[in-house]
Amino acid sequence: MTSFTRILQSNHRWPAGLHLELTPDPVTECVSSRDIEPQFTDYRSTCDPRLNPEQSVGIVAHFLTLL
């Protein structure tokens, strides 16, 4: 997301929005490399792209810093 936003800005453009798949459940399928720890074991599927509430807030906050 950071590279995408910076490339757009360098061409005098900006992202038109942000689409996220969210769930109120404490899913942990989507984790960053710094988040991989033993406590992340609540896998609901082999590939669930949804973000839990904490992850959602972090992604939106990061996106807003890029604008």
For 1-24, how does the pLDDT look when each residue is reduced to its tens digit (9 = 90+)?
Answer: 889 999 999 999 999 988 998 888
Question: Quick one: pLDDT at residue 3?
Answer: 92
Closest by CA position to 24, among listed 8, 44, 39:
44
**Where do the structural domains in the chain lie, given as residue ranges?**
22-67
Q: What is the per-residue burial (b if ≥16 Cβ within 10 Å, else e) of 46-57?
A: eeeebbbeebbe
As to burial, measured by CB atoms within 10 angstroms (0-12 exposed, 13-18 middle, 19+ buried), residue 27 is buried
pLDDT tens digits, one per residue of 22-64: 888 877 766 665 555 555 555 566 666 788 888 889 889 999 9
